[in-house]
Structure 1
Amino acid sequence: MMDLDSLRSFIVFAEHLNFTRAAESLYLSQPALHTKIKKFSDSLGVRLYERQGKNLILTTSGLSVLQFGRQLIESTENFQATLTGGKPQASISLAAGEGTYLYFLGPIIQEFRRVSTAGLTLITAPSQEVIKEVMNGSAHLGITAATAYPEELRVTKLIKVPMVLIIPAKHLLATRTSIRIKHLQGLELIVPTVDRPHRQLIDRHTQAENISWNIAVEANGWELILHFVKLKLGNAIVNGSCSVPKGFVAIPFSDLPSTQYHLLHRPGADKTEERNILIQIIRKHFTT
């Protein structure tokens, strides 16, 4: 029989993937937690984590145990509340990027709050982290613009948004209805750091056409990039859903790929009324 105390400890470890921080959260010593997780792993007959470089990652079995554990603990707590005459506290968690919350999800969250009394946890994370949050059960739903997803997830297309160039309204290019990569030649651009997918997209397409441009500022996040645009430090290539600062215009690219947003969830997991309500609201807003 699975030891529930060890399962709870494993869940905390899996959330940190660091024995020192997880042990502190559990008020245990690091060696004691390490031994506890090893015994738990041995009792299940599977490896729950492995080392990848300097990092610890969950194995496929570890991820499955984490998902099961979260569902079991939530079901147990709800059952105990029912036994004592209380009402189970329904809750749902949603993972998305900061820009997705800022430009898309405000009305969705407002409508959900109007029609549901369930608790709502909003997790902010980059695209790949959103996928991980849904996979490990931290989030019931995720919205992201990643280009590849694990087969275990159900992925629904939501909306496609073009990439645009933000430039001053008095710029020579400002009268165009669309632009191409070649028009970036010689421009000062505010761009993300090289580790970000958006920067890699810009580099890949400009290098393919041998277009030279200059880095004005490196900054991550649409809002921060647009902040520096408003300070007139340079131009920017951003998601077409972003708010255009006063005195600037947004011109769509005809030869940069649009950003496709997707809704993610794990089939068969957490089939609650609250999740279904939120899914319906999301689909309604993204298709109208």
Structure 2
Amino acid sequence: MDLVAEDLQAFAVFARHRNFTRAAAELHVSQPALHTRVRKLEGRLGAKLYVKRGRQLELTDVGERLAAFANDSRDRAADFLRTLGAVPPRPLVLMAGSGAFLYLLGDSLKKFLARGRELRLVTGDADATASSVRDGSVDVGVSAFAVPPADLEYELLAQYPQTLIVRSDHRLANRRTVRLKDLQDEALVVPPKDRPHRQQLERSMLDQGLRWSVAVEAEGWELLVHFVRLGVGPAIVNGSVRTTASVRKIPVKDLPPVRYYVITRKDPDDRVLELTKALT
């Protein structure tokens, strides 16, 4: 089977973005040309490399393995050239969610970058982060996992309670803690339906037979807080989320804590270990 190195690296870029538009722009090729390359690889391998789930593109198992092979080949070639003094080390790649970058990683990243280390930062949800670490397009990932991926190295970074945020004039504003039953018939500010946080909330409310409705869907913790501050409705967020004095944070007793993990591939090299240590 003849796999062209150029096509493999093009697929590795697509696998990192999981988006044909952004991948084609990085590669300086047209979207049809990139589609053609990926289809040719699928034809040679006799297997699908990605599938579409809702608005998201996800790599299949074969796609993850092919991307990992492409990235490993790239790294081995770069390592060899570095032994000849031909190329400098490539920047490490760190992927995390926007909330982790906003509320969790800032000080650690400042200290790491102050050492003169090169680092490329990309955002992604938990599934994208785990998949990108597996295929080698990302060196270190930080995300919230209910159960950390067993096939990767992981270390607990932090954990926070899930908290209800309400305006100071809300009926629950003076409570020290709340339970989900206290939100019966509330209209809540929530993430979109495909987000894990929203899905867990819906399952938990359904398990307790509670009625509730959507006041507004909002993408990102900052926008959720903004809508709460406007009086659109309360929201449940990770306890790490920062608020203003006009918003009360109240722990929700019957929701599990949110645990953030640092994840890497097995047997990380010294540079990856240095970054992991800096974050933890």
TM-score normalised to structure 2 length = 0.83
Q: How does 1:235-250 map to 2 (within 5 A)?
A: 235-250=234-249
- Using a 3 Å threshold, how does the CA distance of structure 1 residues 255 and 109 change in structure 2: closer, same or farther? same
**Structure 1: gaps spanning 5 or more residues:** 284-288
2:209 aligned partner: 210
1:278 aligned partner: 275
Q: How does 1:7-26 map to 2 (within 5 A)?
A: 7-12=8-13, 14-15=15-16, 25=27
Q: 2: CA distance between counterparts of 1:38 and 1:191?
A: 38
Q: 2: CA distance between counterparts of 1:78 and 1:267?
A: 18
Task: Decide whether the 8 Å contact of 2:165 with 2:234 is kept in 1.
Answer: yes
Task: Decide whether the 8 Å contact of 2:164 with 2:250 is kept in 1.
Answer: yes
Q: 2: CA distance between counterparts of 1:21 and 1:247?
A: 39
- The answer to whether 1:137 aligns with 2:136 is yes
Q: 2: CA distance between counterparts of 1:20 and 1:173?
A: 46
Q: Which has the larger radius of gyration?
A: 1
Moved more, 20-29 or 241-250: 20-29
Amino acid across the alignment from 1:7: L
Q: 2: CA distance between counterparts of 1:170 and 1:110?
A: 38
1:6 Cα deviation after fit: 4.4
Amino acid across the alignment from 1:258: P
1:153 Cα deviation after fit: 1.3
Q: 2: CA distance between counterparts of 1:51 and 1:120?
A: 28
Task: Decide whether the 8 Å contact of 2:69 with 2:135 is kept in 1.
Answer: no
Q: 2: CA distance between counterparts of 1:20 and 1:5?
A: 18
Equivalent residues, number: 274
1:286 aligned partner: none
1:118 Cα deviation after fit: 2.9
DSSP 3-state at the match of 2:175: coil
Amino acid across the alignment from 1:141: V
1:49 aligned partner: 48
1:154 aligned partner: 153
Task: Decide whether the 8 Å contact of 1:93 with 1:123 is kept in 2.
Answer: yes
2:250 aligned partner: 251
2:78 aligned partner: 77
1:12 Cα deviation after fit: 4.1
Residue 37 (structure 1) aligned to one of 36, 41, 45: 41
1:50 Cα deviation after fit: 4.5
1:105 aligned partner: 105
TM-score normalised to structure 1 length = 0.81
- The answer to whether 1:167 aligns with 2:166 is yes
1:144 Cα deviation after fit: 1.2
Q: 2: CA distance between counterparts of 1:27 and 1:202?
A: 42
Task: Decide whether the 8 Å contact of 2:133 with 2:139 is kept in 1.
Answer: yes
Task: Decide whether the 8 Å contact of 1:91 with 1:274 is kept in 2.
Answer: no
1:140 Cα deviation after fit: 0.6
1:225 Cα deviation after fit: 0.6
2:260 aligned partner: 261
Moved more, 253-262 or 206-215: 206-215
What RMSD in Å do the two structures reach over aligned CA positions?
A: 3.1
DSSP 3-state at the match of 2:271: helix
1:158 Cα deviation after fit: 2.3
